[in-house]
Structure 1
Amino acid sequence: MAQIEITLPNDKQAQLDRLTEEEFLNEERAIEELLSAGLEAYRGVADQAEPEVERSPFAADAEDEYGRRGEL
C-alpha cells in the first residue's frame, strides 16, 4: 500500500479527529474511506461532463464572431 504524507490546517485535522472518533475504527480507515468516497464522487461528476463535439469550420467561425450561443 502506498504511503502519503500531507499537512492539514488545524481546523481540518480537528474535523478529521472528530469524524474518526465518531464514525470509524481508526484514522487510517477514515482517510481511506473518505478518499474513496471523494474519488467516486469526482468520477461521477467527470462522467457527466459534456462530450466534446467536433465542430465544423463554419461553426467555429460563427462562434468566434457571435459567441457560443449567438450572444453579441
Structure 2
Amino acid sequence: MSGTRMLAIGGFLLAFVLFAVVEWAARREGSRIPTLGDVCAQVMRYEVGPVPVGRIGLFGFWWWLGWHFFAR
C-alpha cells in the first residue's frame, strides 16, 4: 500500500473520529454546540428571497459527494 493511500485513509479516519467526538459533545446535557441535525435544519431553512439556497447547496453537496466517491 502506498504512502499516499495510507495518508488519505488516515485523514478520513481522523475526520470520522473528530466528527464523532463533536457530535458526542453536542449531545451532552447543557451543551451549546449544535448537533448535526440542528445544523442541517438551519441550512435547509436558509433562503434568499424565494430561492431555497440552503436546499440547493445541500443537493449540490450530495451530488458532488456521489460523483466523486460512488460514480467511479
For the criterion TM > 0.5, the same-fold answer is: no
Select the structure of larger CA radius of gyration: 1
TM range (shorter): 0.3 to 0.5
TM-score of the superposed pair, with normalisation by structure 1? 0.36
